[in-house]
Amino acid sequence: MRAYILACLIVSALSPAGAQSQSASPLDVTNSGTDSGAVTDAEPETPILDDESFEAALPDLEPETDLVTDDGLDTTPSPVDALLPPTDETTAELTDLELPEAPPLSDPALEAALPPLETYDLTAAPDAEVVANNDSDTPPPVRYDTRFEGFHATHIDRAFKDLSVLRDGKGTAGNLSQLRARLQEDEILALRLLKSHGYYDAVVRSRIDLPSADNPESRATAVISVVPGEIYTLSSIAIEADPTEPPTLIRDALPLNPGDAIDADLIKSAEANVTLTLPQQGYPFAQLGLRDVVIDPQTRKGDYTLPVTTGPRSRFNGIRLEGDPVFKADHIRTLSRFESGDLYDVRMVDDLREAMTATGLFASVGVEPELSGETAEDGTAYVTLKVTQNAGKPRTLAGDIGFSTGQGLRTEVRWTHRNRFPPEGAVIFSAVVGTQEQGLGASFRRSNAKRRDRTVQAGLSFANQTYDSYEAMTLSLSGSVSRVSTPLWQKKWTWSYGAEILATQEKAFDLNTTQNLRDNYFYASLPTKIGYDVTNDLLNPSRGFRAGVQATPFVSLSGGGGNFFVNVGDISYYREVSPQLVLATRARLGSIYGADLTAIAPSRRLYAGGGGSVRGFGYQELGPRDINNDPTGGRSAVELAFEVRYRFKDFLGGNLGIVPFVDAGQVYHAEFPEFSDIRFGVGIGARYYTNFGPLRVDIATPISRRDGESPVSLYVGIGQAF
């Protein structure tokens, strides 16, 4: 304390002198008016406070009472002494203090020894029963209903309900805070949707109606109310772009008009139409800029501006190959539907890509335009198509399996090398193994032969068939030129023509001798077929119709007057009542004329019955019978079918369907159908829909069943019955 007081006194004594010296320094300079830099002589310094006065001014630092020990030592405590560590004497004094005893532990578990650290299980979870019986303050889940008010006057009702987190919660929230959070998210969602549809003055309010105290078991209600206000509309539409041909191309492709709502979906759809139209009209490099919509809240109208970079108007020119080339440029030109110099059309480019994909020879295919640097006479630019090919596996192993009453189990396996003789020269080997049919075949097929979609095929096959109607061993050599549909590339018009030479040894009932005879037949034929298909799907149609006619003249090379003409026509119609319900119907007529029934090989006659014919009857079971009650076949036939195809919406992911059906038909000995004694079969089928077509299981029974007819027939296959 004494040292502190002394220091303070020294500072206070020195402060006046220091302050005076600071303020007096400017006065050391005198402005004479003639020489501002001259300095006058300083007066001799006079001490402010002499030493004796300073000593007399100091206070007495000695305490009034000194603490002196017996040995003469001063023990007055100093402020510094409080900062020093305690001495042994002070420690001893603290040790001698008696503290109260601590109360004993009430929980024996706290006195138990801790288990070893290495035995502690970090993954152990508390027992469910312990958690259930825990005295926790966690409140039970909140059950709630939702109510949306004012949405019927807007266009966002369905979109809001699809995206609502309140609806996704299915009426249960963990607590009231979670319910409030969901309500706020839906409030923001509603406002965003309203503005996206042009309601920029919309007001959205939300609240939670809690259960009343009189009925605590009732549910809370989350309420969202909207007041959409007046919808904003477009007042003007402007397009900033270079000139096009025709001049109004972009404006015509933009389906927006003054007075339309400033609706995000409407505007994006209109701009997407521009994006599609320009590359179809010769502008492959067109790009849309960032739209600008200036809204006036006073008039509730907006000015719309769309910048467009059209790029050069272009024409097709050459082809440049990249990647792992499977096809040369010449074959790619064969696949294309455009000529060099044609105005660029992106639809033709997409068509070329699809045609290359349909060959099955590529893992991936890319076709895109690039400027060649050349210019046509009319000033348009030439573009080169860069075709990037990545080869896939050329060999495939495929198979079909099916079962039907009367035909039994039938399995066919095919091995194909699709590009054994480029381009698209395929070699195919097949084998049929079944309970009533066995066979082997080898064929060569050239797809897109010198022309798009034209297929040239030649093959050799052997088949052994054992049915109730006949037994036959047939060797066939055939060739054809065709244009057919595939699941990847369905065509409207299809056709085929060709020639076939076959030799067959068959065993059947002779209607003249009433005996089973084995006979040899040797034929040459010219099969011809034409078809028209405007359905929406090849394996699972739901809309449209398809029709076909097949005419095949047969000439007997062994004589005997067995020349005849086979004609078969069929038509199918499909109507989609709803996305889950399709009505389908089919009719088929067949006729053979030019020869008696006995002169026609049993395998070449007309039959009915089976999974692809009249269900409810076994394979080839319908029609006239011999004295052994076996089908004889005929020279004319009629078939009818009607199906109701219903696909369940939610069961098994929407992949399961049910098909009740009624089939009818008959076979006659006469050359043309007599439409008498029509037989009916009824049944029901199941469909499991896959990405390559429906799997089909049908079960049916004939009405007024006769001797020799199966009571129940079962059919299993891929694709619809027709």
Q: Does residue 81 belong to any structural domain of this protein? A: no
Q: What is the pLDDT of residues 26-47, one digit of tens each?
A: 323 233 333 333 333 444 455 5
- Whether residues 320 and 221 fall in one domain: no
Q: Tell me, what's the pLDDT at 486?
A: 76
The 8-class DSSP code of residue 654 comes to: G
Q: Does residue 687 belong to any structural domain of this protein? A: yes
Q: What is the number of other CB atoms lying within 10 angstroms of the CB of residue 97?
A: 6
User: Could you list the residue range(s) of the whole structural domain that residue 239 is in?
Assistant: 233-309
pLDDT band (50, 70, 90) for residue 152: confident
Q: Tell me, what's the pLDDT at 50?
A: 65
- Whether residues 592 and 706 fall in one domain: yes
- Whether residues 404 and 423 fall in one domain: yes
- The more confident residue out of 612 and 214 is 612
The sign of the torsion formed by the CA atoms of 242, 245, 250, 252 equals positive
Q: What is the pLDDT of residues 616-662, one digit of tens each?
A: 988 888 989 888 888 889 999 999 999 999 999 877 778 899 999 99
Q: Tell me, what's the pLDDT at 56?
A: 66
Q: Is the pLDDT of residue 248 over 50?
A: yes
- Whether residues 464 and 601 fall in one domain: yes
- Whether residues 416 and 483 fall in one domain: yes
What's the average model confidence in pLDDT over 85-110?
54
Q: Which helix (H) or strand (E) holds 431?
A: strand 425-434
Domain edge (last residue) among 309, 340, 357? 309
Q: Rounded to whole angstroms, what are the CA distances from 414 to 222, 401, 418, 476?
A: 62, 12, 12, 18
Q: Is the pLDDT of residue 195 over 70?
A: yes
Q: Tell me, what's the pLDDT at 710?
A: 83
Domain edge (last residue) among 391, 415, 450? 391
Q: Tell me, what's the pLDDT at 79?
A: 46
Q: Does residue 409 belong to any structural domain of this protein? A: yes
- Whether residues 510 and 468 fall in one domain: yes
Question: Quick one: 234 exposed, middle or buried, by C-beta within 10 A (0-12, 13-18, 19+)?
Answer: buried
Q: Does residue 487 belong to any structural domain of this protein? A: yes
How many whole angstroms separate alpha carbon 84 and alpha carbon 94? 16
Q: Is the pLDDT of residue 135 over 60?
A: no
In which region does residue 575 sit, left (phi positive, over 0), alpha (psi from -120 to 50) or beta (all else)? beta
Residues 6+ apart with CB under 8 A from 128: none
Q: Does residue 605 belong to any structural domain of this protein? A: yes
Q: Is the pLDDT of residue 51 over 80?
A: no
- Whether residues 206 and 355 fall in one domain: no
Pairing of strands 528-533, 713-718: unpaired
Residues 6+ apart with CB under 8 A from 513: none
- Whether residues 240 and 148 fall in one domain: no
Burial 457-481 (b: 16+ CB within 10 A, else e): bebebebebebbbbbbbbebebebe
Q: What is the CATH number of the domain that holds 288?
A: 3.10.20.310
**Which of 56-60, 271-275, 331-335, 501-505 comes out lowest in average pLDDT?**
56-60
- Whether residues 299 and 426 fall in one domain: no
Q: What is the pLDDT of residues 668-699, one digit of tens each?
A: 999 999 999 999 999 999 999 888 778 899 99
- Phi–psi pair at 437, nearest 5 degrees: -150, 135
* Number of structural domains the chain divides into: 4
Q: What is the number of other CB atoms lying within 10 angstroms of the CB of residue 669?
A: 16
Q: Which amino acid is at 704?
A: S
How many whole angstroms separate alpha carbon 670 and alpha carbon 290? 74
3-state secondary structure of 91: helix
Q: Does residue 149 belong to any structural domain of this protein? A: yes
- Whether residues 254 and 320 fall in one domain: no
Mean pLDDT value across the chain: 82
Q: What is the pLDDT of residues 563-617, one digit of tens each?
A: 999 999 999 999 999 989 999 999 999 999 999 888 899 999 999 998 889 999 8
Q: Rounded to whole angstroms, what are the CA distances from 376 to 247, 312, 594?
A: 20, 12, 62
Percent of the chain with pLDDT over 70: 79
How many whole angstroms separate alpha carbon 288 and alpha carbon 49? 93
3-state secondary structure of 118: helix
Q: What is the pLDDT of residues 285-312, one digit of tens each?
A: 999 999 999 999 899 999 999 999 999 9
- Whether residues 386 and 417 fall in one domain: no
Q: Does residue 96 belong to any structural domain of this protein? A: no
Picking from 319, 322, 343, the residue whose alpha carbon sits closest to that of residue 331 is 319
Domain edge (last residue) among 251, 279, 309? 309
Q: Does residue 601 belong to any structural domain of this protein? A: yes
- Whether residues 546 and 404 fall in one domain: yes
What's the average model confidence in pLDDT over 87-99?
51
Picking from 351, 291, 337, 345, the residue whose alpha carbon sits closest to that of residue 315 is 345
Q: Is the pLDDT of residue 510 over 60?
A: yes
Structure tokens at 188: 């923001």
How many whole angstroms separate alpha carbon 361 and alpha carbon 488? 13
Asked whether the bond before 247 is cis by omega within 30 degrees of 0, the reply is: no
Q: Tell me, what's the pLDDT at 651?
A: 73
